[in-house]
Amino acid sequence: MQLKDQFRFVRQNMKKNKTRVFMTILATAMGCAFLIVLASVGFGLQKSVVKEITEQRVITQIDVHGKELNDQDGFRPLNETDIQLFEKVKDVKAVTRRKMLQQESTYIIGNYQESAQTYVTNFASEVKAGFELSEGRLPKGKDEIVVGYNFSLNLASKDAPGDIYDKKGQIKAEYRYSGKLIGQKLELTVRQNKDGKQVEKTIPLTVVGITKKPTREWAEDRTVFIADEMLTEIENFTGTPKGLLLDENSEVPAEFKAQDNSYDEVKIYAKNMEAVQSISDKLTEKKYGTYSVVNELKEVNMVFMIAKAGLIFIGTIAILIASIGIYNTMTMAVTERAPDIGIMKAIGANPKTIKRIFLLESSYIGLIGALIGTVVSYGISYTVNFAIPLIIKQAFGKETQIDLIFSDIPLILPLICIVICFGVTIISGFRPAQRATKVDVLKAMRREV
Amino acid sequence: MITIKKLSHDFVIGKKGRQTIIPVLRDINLTVGQGEIVTIVGRSGSGKSTLLNLVSGFIHPKEGEIWVKEEKVSDLNETKFADFRIKNLGFIFQSFQLIPSMTAFQNVELPLILKGINDRERKKKTEEMLKKVGLLEYQDHYPGELSGGQQQRVSIARALIVNPPIILADEPTGSLDSETEAELLKFIKELNRDLGITFLIITHDDKVAEIGHRTIELRDGLIVEEVASLCN
Ligand SMILES: Nc1ncnc2c1ncn2[C@@H]1O[C@H](COP(=O)(O)OP(=O)(O)O)[C@@H](O)[C@H]1O
Ligand SMILES: [Mg+2]
């Protein structure tokens, strides 16, 4: 019997009891939609979390926060020797290292002031890692500095009244410094407690460059990079490494520790994403404490993998329940059609063919159910993604975090669902199909019409 | 064409422990030659249908052998018998056994579908066959919309469509009036004469029995008489 004819038989048979077939398809579709929508939440949240992680940071970046001490707990800070070692590791593109001024530093331009984080960095490695300026040039002299892209946004007028911030939390334009920055002279004030009283020192500096705009919209770059020699000068004033501000009552320590030339922020940039893993493996082997997005993603993905498997499992139960309907429908179909099956067998229909027709019918029901379920679940998914932020906004009066995806249906999900559904329907249709082949010809033909 | 050797059959009824054995056929030996019409007569309950069902393969014999066209069909399994049946055997039943949800055309076409013949050839052959039995204009009627005689002609068309060398008929005229019966008998004789089809016909009707080249009487599961028909 040709496959085409088998399909025709199946369609004719299904037409004989449209309502029953429809209800069975409906149940299967609901089971599938349930599975897909349920699992889609897992996929959606994973996507959101992964997006969040990868947007916060550069994916090829590895943070190294220290080297494990042999016999004690804890890490020691990294120094030049470590950096040289990192630079030799395979597939490392750049190693940036920054020292941070260990006190709040205030910058003043005329009547405007701002406190910012102050760093010393190795610009050559920063540039290799992708550092760029939007204006000006890199510093050459001791008193030249580069400021962050958003530095001027926070330069506020000294004699502004109490509330200088607007609704978005930014300084109102009328109190903000609006002049140009490049070539501008400004003053950095550093402090130290000496003999129980605070002394200040102002250092004149010149802005020569502004960093490029941060890629993330919400990010604000207001760092200031000063020259290495300038940090030494500050250290000489404070008498502490990296300008550490001492307590009011404590003395400047006797041993001057400026030679503690350790870095506060060391980041390794890998040539590509694939290399991140091997680099961080190598560093871990050498007892360096590292952190990278790739590591975190691996853990996050693992957790979501388990969660998604669980959700799919729960969804499968819904399909299994639907399969009882398929079993029922097929059993009834076999019973109803027993006389026809008997006649077909009498004139020479092969039992295998009869079985195939019934299996075809149950898998057809399963497949249509799965397809309808898939279409419906895409609809539900879109609605959910559209409606939930609105509901949250209504309920809490504020917007949700930037594009949180509640439900995401990657192509693999309907495929998984269709495979599960197909398998389940074949299994549930198997017994009825088997029964169809066992129909007794004589018993079936004995009906008198 | 058909050879039956030492065939015995009985039915076991009742649940385990309280079974009763109903002996139906005992030591049947029968040969039907090619192109022969053999009729089997006997009282109701004498085992005629059982004999035919054994030859058709609808039941499996307890003892003895059945050979059809040099094939020992009593040894065939269900699947193999199905293939053998569609190639070699045509059936005519007392209650026609048409599929009620299919039109006359579809009923006649069914064996060709089962054989896997393509659409175009099927349509041609089916129309030819319906024409032969004089029902071409009724091809879209469902069995319920046809008279008994017409239904029986549809079932004959269905039996003939695969050109079987043998046709087995169990009380073919049992549901027909005497006029249609006469028509059917004439048609059977024509088929036998023109196409050389072998017939094994079961009946308790003398008029039907008469068309046989040979008539065999069954009584209590035994062949009691073999009479050469006088009408030929
Ligand atoms: N499936 C069956 N189970 C039990 N007994 C049966 C069965 N089929 C037929 N019989 C018995 O076998 C005997 C012969 O039946 P059957 O061959 O139908 O006779 P006939 O066709 O000559 O009227 C009867 O006594 C009947 O009761
Ligand atoms: Mg009978």
Shortest CB distance from A347 goes to which of B53, B78, B91? B91
Shortest CB distance from B82 goes to which of A340, A343, A348? A348
B98 in reach of chain A (CB within 8 A)? yes
For residue B147, report the phi and psi dihedrals to the nearest 5 degrees: -75, 170
Torsional class of B216: left (φ above 0), alpha (ψ -120 to 50), beta (otherwise): beta
Asked if this assembly's ipTM is beyond 0.85, the reply is: yes
Report the C-alpha gap between B30 and B7 in whole angstroms: 9
The helix (H) or strand (E) run that includes residue B202 is strand B198-202
The helix (H) or strand (E) run that includes residue A340 is helix A293-346
The reply to whether A257 and A229 lie within a common domain is: yes
Q: Is residue A295 part of a domain?
A: no
Q: Do B95 and A445 touch (CB under 8 A)?
A: yes
- Enumerate the residues of chain B whose CB falls inside 8 A of the CB of residue A344: 99, 110, 114
CB B154 within 8 A of CB B104: yes
Counting from 1 in the atom list of ligand 1, the atom nearest the Cα of A442 is 1
More reliable by pLDDT, B138 or A250: B138
Q: Is the pLDDT of residue A401 over 70?
A: no
Least Cα separation, residue B92 to chain A (angstroms): 10
Show the domain range for A37.
Answer: 3-56+300-445
Q: Is residue A175 part of a domain?
A: yes
- Enumerate the residues of chain A whose CB falls inside 8 A of the CB of residue B82: 345, 348-351
With a Cβ cut-off of 6 Å, ligand 1 is lined by B 11, 13, 22, 24, 42, 44-50
Q: Is residue A166 part of a domain?
A: yes
The reply to whether A323 and A364 lie within a common domain is: yes
B193 in reach of chain A (CB within 8 A)? no
The reply to whether A201 and A117 lie within a common domain is: yes
The reply to whether A10 and A112 lie within a common domain is: no
Give the gyration radius of chain B's Cα atoms: 18
Q: What is the pTM of this model?
A: 0.75
The overall average pLDDT reported for chain A is 87
The reply to whether A358 and A236 lie within a common domain is: no
Task: Count Cβ atoms below 10 Å from residue A153 Cβ, excluding itself.
Answer: 17
Q: Is residue A10 part of a domain?
A: yes
Pairing of the two strands B198-202 and B37-42? parallel
Instruction: Encode pLDDT of A127-156 as tens digits.
Output: 888 888 998 999 988 899 999 998 888 888
Could you tell me the mean pLDDT of each successive run of 10 residues in chain B, 232 residues long?
93 87 91 94 90 93 92 92 93 92 95 93 95 93 94 94 94 88 92 94 90 91 70 46
The reply to whether A117 and A188 lie within a common domain is: yes
Q: Do A348 and B158 touch (CB under 8 A)?
A: no
pLDDT given at position A26: 95
Q: Ligand 1: which residue has its CA nearest to atom 16?
A: B47
Least Cα separation, residue A4 to chain B (angstroms): 10
The reply to whether A88 and A110 lie within a common domain is: yes
What residues contact residue A192 under an 8 Å CB cut-off, 6+ apart? A198, A199, A201, A237, A238, A239, A240, A245, A246, A252
Q: Is residue A169 part of a domain?
A: yes
Band of pLDDT at residue A55, cut at 50, 70 and 90:
confident
Band of pLDDT at residue A411, cut at 50, 70 and 90:
very high
The reply to whether A318 and A187 lie within a common domain is: no
For residue B50, report the phi and psi dihedrals to the nearest 5 degrees: -60, -40
Instruction: Encode pLDDT of A290-305 as tens digits.
Output: 888 888 888 889 999 9
Q: Do A5 and B110 touch (CB under 8 A)?
A: no
pLDDT given at position A251: 62
The reply to whether A182 and A101 lie within a common domain is: yes
Q: Ligand 1: which residue has its CA nearest to atom 8?
A: B50
Rounded average pLDDT over A317-325: 92
Q: Is residue A292 part of a domain?
A: no
Contacting B residues, span 8-27, partner chain A, CB-CB under 8 Å = none
Q: Which among B184, B192, B209, B176 is positioned nearest to B95, based on CA atoms?
A: B176
User: How far is residue A50 from each of residues A47, A60, A243, A296, A306, measured CA to CA in Å?
Assistant: 5, 15, 38, 9, 16
Q: Which among A78, A119, A121, A65 is positioned nearest to A96, based on CA atoms?
A: A121
Q: What is the DSSP letter of A252?
A: P
The reply to whether A306 and A263 lie within a common domain is: no
The reply to whether A229 and A325 lie within a common domain is: no
User: How far is residue B212 from each of residues A18, A346, B174, measured CA to CA in Å?
Assistant: 49, 24, 17
The total number of structural domains in chain A stands at 2
Band of pLDDT at residue A319, cut at 50, 70 and 90:
very high
Report the C-alpha gap between A116 and A223 in whole angstroms: 6
Task: Count Cβ atoms below 10 Å from residue B147 Cβ, excluding itself.
Answer: 12
The reply to whether A246 and A321 lie within a common domain is: no
CB A181 within 8 A of CB A147: yes
- A57: Cα separation from own chain's centroid: 10
Q: Is residue A282 part of a domain?
A: no
Band of pLDDT at residue A260, cut at 50, 70 and 90:
low
CB B177 within 8 A of CB B183: no
pLDDT given at position A449: 38
Residue of A340, A347, A356, A443 to mutate, interface with B, max B Cβ within 10 Å: A347
Q: Is residue A290 part of a domain?
A: no
| Structural domains in chain B plus CATH codes | 2-228 (3.40.50.300)
pLDDT given at position B35: 93
Instruction: Encode pLDDT of A9-38 as tens digits.
Output: 999 889 888 999 999 999 999 999 999 999
Instruction: Encode pLDDT of A354-393 as tens digits.
Output: 999 999 999 999 999 999 999 999 999 999 988 888 888 8
B147 in reach of chain A (CB within 8 A)? no
A3 in reach of chain B (CB within 8 A)? no
CB A257 within 8 A of CB A241: yes
Counting from 1 in the atom list of ligand 1, the atom nearest the Cα of B170 is 21
CB A327 within 8 A of CB A28: no
Q: What is the DSSP letter of A29?
A: H
- A241: Cα separation from own chain's centroid: 38
Q: Do A449 and B99 touch (CB under 8 A)?
A: no
Shortest CB distance from B58 goes to which of A346, A350, A351? A346
